[in-house]
Amino acid sequence: MIKYIGVHCNTSGGLEKSVLQANKLNATAFSFFVKNPLRWNTLPLQQSTIKSFRKFCNKYNYSTLQILPHSSYLINLGHPDKEKKKKSCKTLIEEINFCNLLGLVMINIHPGSSLKKITEKKCLENISNSINYILKKTNNIIIVLENTSGQGGNMGYCFEHLAFIINKVRNKSRIGVCLDTCHLFASGYQLNNKNSFLNIFYRFHELIGLKYLRGIHLNDSKGKFNSKLDRHENLGYGNIKTSVFSKIVRVIEFNNIPIILETKDASIWKKEIQWLKKQSLLPKISILNF
């Protein structure tokens, strides 16, 4: 079984550049921003861009299961302000429509933030209501919720948050989860303890279900355990043991989902991918049978 291992690619010069970069790095998965992540303005996708993106995905054998695009950082589906929440919904709808045009099947989002102005429960309700609205206005694309580090008022720093949202989403076929290792570690999930490593993912299965896991962001953490700090680091340069990353690419239940590096130093991405591929050939691990 080939593991889907790759990086978050650059789209400077066109979305199709992400496919070319992934191929150059010998990646078997990749992510990219659908649009500028720091701007609300959304320019329509050109037919030439759509054709080029699809052509290169086909040429280099990237299936939809290997690609997990990322939404704008500005989107906040849990925003305490009604108009700003509507603006976020509108932007995500546009990005979902882009994904459809590109022939993709999912998009990764940060769930949302209370901005410390409303309760966590109210914010989580805002997020689930926003998702239900967006799913009614769009087709096909799966919204993938990324866990967070717990920095500021960001929701999704615990499995209970993600379970709450998913339980309230009506169309369960179009909701999923992406687990970020840096965020897990920073929010209080002790990945470094070999006795708790598998328990963490089994707990995810109990609360949410592994069937909802659509991707993994594989990042080391600059911050210490339970620091709430969202600062990614290259593998082996932060506070998460390299053995953790080795285990993750050997987990049987993580087959057929994109495992994406979002590490800082792009100059060693190829080396990181090579190392992860090598680790994936070591004896397999199962979350459900340990």
> How many domains does one find in the chain?
1
Q: Which residue has the tokens 């790759």?
A: 6
Was 253 annotated as part of a binding site? Answer: no
Q: Is residue 191 part of a domain?
A: yes
Q: What is the mean pLDDT of the chain?
A: 97
Was 230 annotated as part of a binding site? Answer: yes
Was 146 annotated as part of a binding site? Answer: yes
Q: Which domain holds residue 182?
A: 4-37+46-279
Residue 290 pLDDT exceeds 90: no
Q: Is residue 224 part of a domain?
A: yes
Q: Is residue 91 part of a domain?
A: yes
**pLDDT more than 70, % of the chain:** 99
Q: Is residue 290 part of a domain?
A: no
pTM as predicted: 0.97
Q: Is residue 273 part of a domain?
A: yes
CATH at residue 236: 3.20.20.150
Residue 2 pLDDT exceeds 90: no
Was 81 annotated as part of a binding site? Answer: no
Residue 165 pLDDT exceeds 70: yes
Q: Is residue 120 part of a domain?
A: yes
Was 262 annotated as part of a binding site? Answer: yes
Residue 195: per-residue pLDDT: 84
In tens, the pLDDT along 123-140 reads 999 999 999 999 999 999
Residue 289: per-residue pLDDT: 86
Region 6-15: mean pLDDT is 96
CA atoms lying within 13 Å on the CB side of residue 22: 35
Residue 1 pLDDT exceeds 70: no
Q: Is residue 286 part of a domain?
A: no
Q: Is residue 289 part of a domain?
A: no
Where does the pLDDT of residue 194 fall: very low under 50, low under 70, confident under 90, or very high at 90 and above? confident
SS (H, E, C) the chain: CCCEEEEECCCCCCCHHHHHHHHHCCCCEEECECCCCCCCCCCCCCHHHHHHHHHHHHHCCCCHHHECCECCCCCCCCCCCHHHHHHHHHHHHHHHHHHHHHCCCEEEECCCECCCCCCHHHHHHHHHHHHHHHHHHCCCCEEEEECCCCCCCECCCCHHHHHHHHHHCCCHHHEEEEEEHHHHHHCCCCCCCHHHHHHHHHHHHHHCCHHHEEEEEECEECCCCCCCCCCEECCCCCCCCHHHHHHHCCEHHHCCCEEEECCCCHHHHHHHHHHHHHHCCCCCECCCCC
Return the bridge partners of 4, or none: 258
In tens, the pLDDT along 57-83 reads 999 999 999 999 999 999 999 999 999
